[in-house]
Copies of this chain bind each other. A is one copy, B any other.
Amino acid sequence: MKSSTERLLRACLRRRAHHGALMMDPTDLHWLSATDAARLIRDGIISSAELVEACLRRVHEVDAEVQAWAFLDPDHALAQARAADAWRLEGRPTGPLHGVPVGIKDIIETADMPTEHGSVLYAGRTPSRDATVVAMLRAAGAVIMGKTVTTEFATYTPGKTRNPHDPGHTPGGSSSGSAAAVAAGMVPLALGSQTNGSTIRPASFCGVYGLKPSHGLISRHGILALSRTLDHVGLFGRTIEDIALLAAQIVGYDERDPDTRPRARIPFVEMAAEEPPLPPMFAFVKTPHWERADAEMQAAFAELVEHLGDRVEEVELFPSAVEAWEWHRRIMEAEMAANLEREWDKGRDRLSESLRAQLERGREVRALDYQRAVARIGPTYESFAELFEQRYDAILTPAAPGTAPKNLASTRDPAFCTLWTLTGMPALSVPLMQGANGLPLGVQLVGPRDGDARLLRTARWLVTRLAAG
């Protein structure tokens, strides 16, 4: 590292330390935000190889305990970093994530690494292509660090990962490794997915930001398909600006994902950094499953609402919302049964019992009931769209029922995520609170479809406001 520029670097690390939720050693690069790291690499203050080496040291230090990685070849990661450095030194144009390492959930295909879907059925399989999001990350200059642990087929049966805040606790799932790797400082950014609560819940349990974007905003081509209606790519980072930076690289139309649409570029980074023109209004929504939230979570929300004063109002959901969980289950199970039909036919004895039971139920759903559930999504979303048009900037609701339980056999209840996944609205888990056990507790913000960048701006306002006391 150039000593003349150490001061700038230290300032970045101090800034990081100020925002971060975890203890950190400011002399080490692995806690840099992706935004700072990209800037320092661009300006030649650090090299990508130095950054990736620091991240690899961190992996070496903590991953025996955390076990966030399904695949990580240090030489391959370093080779990418060195190639990025050589490229820059030749004076060639660099992308916004040039030299920055990103973790990729092990259901997202990578042409140079295995993609095993958390199942023995796919052990050792290396696909022949990159998923669209991986190709877009490479085009932005990112180093594909490795593959992060997923639960079995991104459903309920956990992988080996532990919560970096306390290894006796679950990291949540299904994007367990992505959330844990970012939280533990092994990588500044990671991709996951969400079909029910697979991004928001582990982000909440691990104390990082997790964005489940609007349905159709980010291509799912080359990613394990469970449910076209419900599958989303998920984004993990330790700062809002990092989430914005990552989103800006991977949002876009892809003709191979029929739910994406051509649209104008969304200025994620710029909008996330802006001050809202007016202080936002929040709708506090308990959902019909409020009784599932821990007393601690309920109390934390009461405090938060009190603190926000006239900026928040409690909003009761329309009565039919209570059925949304059943619609979600029916759609997810029916679509999973179709998408995992080959696995069912050829290897059902090597699936977990719970996945087998899910698929069995899914195989019996009637097309009529399935379509009925799908048909409810539009009107359900419309009720929320009205809420946003009339008065509110974001819904405020728990990300999970409480902190990560002391139980590695379950990733806990996704009930606080289901409604927003079903309706395809953008949802962000914000690491704002802490339980009595010291574990993180996420606040979930939800915005109208395609309002992802504004949601980040609203989140930034909220974090700043709460930091101001």
Contact = CB atoms under 8 A, between A and B. Distances in A.
A367 B262 contact: no
Contacts of A337: 367-368
A369 B337 CA distance: 10
A364 B364 CA distance: 11
Interface in A93-114: none
A125 interface: no
Interface in A342-374: 362-372
A28 interface: no
A338 B262 contact: no
A418 to B, nearest CB: 19
A335 interface: yes
A79 interface: no
A334 interface: yes
Interface in A367-411: 367-372, 375
Contacts of A338: 367-368, 371-372, 375
Contacts of A334: 367-368, 371
Nearest to A370: B367
Contacts of A371: 334-335, 338
Interface string A219-257: 000000000000000000000000000000000000000
A381 to B, nearest CB: 13
A338 B365 CA distance: 14
A337 B372 CA distance: 10
A341 to B, nearest CB: 7
Contacts of A369: 367
A261 B369 CA distance: 28
Contacts of A363: 366, 368
Contacts of A370: 367, 370
**Residue of A262, A364, A369, A371 with highest tally of chain B CB at under 10 A:** A371
A337 B261 CA distance: 29
A117 to B, nearest CB: 19
A368 to B, nearest CB: 5
Contact of A366 (B261, B262, B367, B375): B367
A376 to B, nearest CB: 12
Contacts of A372: 338, 341
Contacts of A335: 371
Most buried by B among A262, A335, A370, A375: A370
A215 to B, nearest CB: 12
Nearest to A330: B367
Contacts of A375: 338
16 contacts: A334-B367, A334-B368, A334-B371, A335-B371, A337-B367, A337-B368, A338-B367, A338-B368, A338-B372, A341-B368, A341-B372, A362-B367, A364-B366, A365-B366, A366-B367, A367-B367
Interface of A: 261-262, 334-335, 337-338, 341, 362-372, 375
Given A335-B371, A366-B366, A367-B370, 14 more contacts: A334-B371, A337-B367, A338-B367, A338-B368, A338-B371, A338-B372, A341-B368, A341-B372, A362-B368, A363-B368, A365-B366, A365-B367, A367-B367, A367-B369
